[in-house]
Structure 1
Amino acid sequence: MRDGVEITSRKSGDFDWLGIAGEVDMHASPQVRKALLDALQPKSALLVDLSAVRYMDSSGVACLVEAFQTARKQGSRFALVAVAQPVLNVLRLARLDKVFTLYASLDEALAGGG
């Protein structure tokens, strides 16, 4: 786990999946930002699994917001999956839980069309 964060990705027919684990802070956020933006493809869906994120600061939240805005501009779908409680608390505090599409599980996301 480099910089306190580990990122894995997987491609499927209908969506791309990005899993983030560890702590997303100002040291790890450049790596997370690059992974998010690299994973975004026009007219596709990106599901970001945050179930293993133990901590996220404002720089991590900014990465998610930038990826969300980029996805909207290119006509892609962007959703957060299985958001860990510490991250969900931060998103709620910033009222971003009302902005992002949130799914409790990957199965729910797939049923919801990514």
Structure 2
Amino acid sequence: MTDTGQAEQAGGLSVVTTATDGIRVLTLAGEIDHHTGDQLRHALEVTGTARPRIVIDMLRVTFMDSSGINILVNAHQTVTEADGWLRLAAPTDSVLRVLQLVGIDDVIQCRPTLREALAL
């Protein structure tokens, strides 16, 4: 695993970006809401990457509201248009319930572990 050294913290959300076998991994901790959404949106930006592959490790996300859902949907659309993919890894029970209620788990692959999300 390669650590890009990018770690950000703002208003209750920590985002650490690393890379594993060409897959960008965003490890999140804290809450995803309207206060922290811009930080996640910025971390998910796809710039000049052919076929971006992104895994979001959600094991330590304690809360996510509709702002987070919108960010994930937009990121999924952007990555898919660039012929890449976005996967969610290890969402907590409360976050998984939100994803299931709005049907995001039918659109974006959700895997129970980071290892499974990284598997090609």
Give the TM-score taking structure 1 as reference length: 0.90
1:20 is aligned to 28
Which whole-Å CA distance do the structure 1 matches of 2:59 and 2:93 have between them?
Answer: 8
Q: Which has the higher strand share?
A: 2
Specify every segment of 5 or more residues in structure 2 that has no aligned partner in the other structure, as ranges: 1-8
Deviation at 1:106, TM superposition (A): 1.6
Structure 1 pair 2/40, CA: closer, same or farther in 2 (3 Å)? farther
**Contact 1:42-1:71 at 8 Å conserved across structures:** no
Bigger relative CO (Cα 8 Å, ≥ 6 apart): 1
**Residues 1-114 of structure 1 aligned to structure 2 (within 5 Å):** 1-38=9-46, 41-111=49-119, 113=120
Q: Which has the higher helix share?
A: 1
Seq. identity, %: 33
Which whole-Å CA distance do the structure 2 matches of 1:38 and 1:63 have between them?
Answer: 13
Structure 1 pair 40/51, CA: closer, same or farther in 2 (3 Å)? farther
Specify every segment of 5 or more residues in structure 1 that has no aligned partner in the other structure, as ranges: none
Deviation at 1:38, TM superposition (A): 4.7
Moved >6 Å (runs of 4+)? none
Deviation at 1:44, TM superposition (A): 2.9
Which whole-Å CA distance do the structure 1 matches of 2:105 and 2:35 have between them?
Answer: 24
Give the TM-score taking structure 2 as reference length: 0.86
Alpha-carbon RMSD across the aligned residues, in angstroms, is 1.6
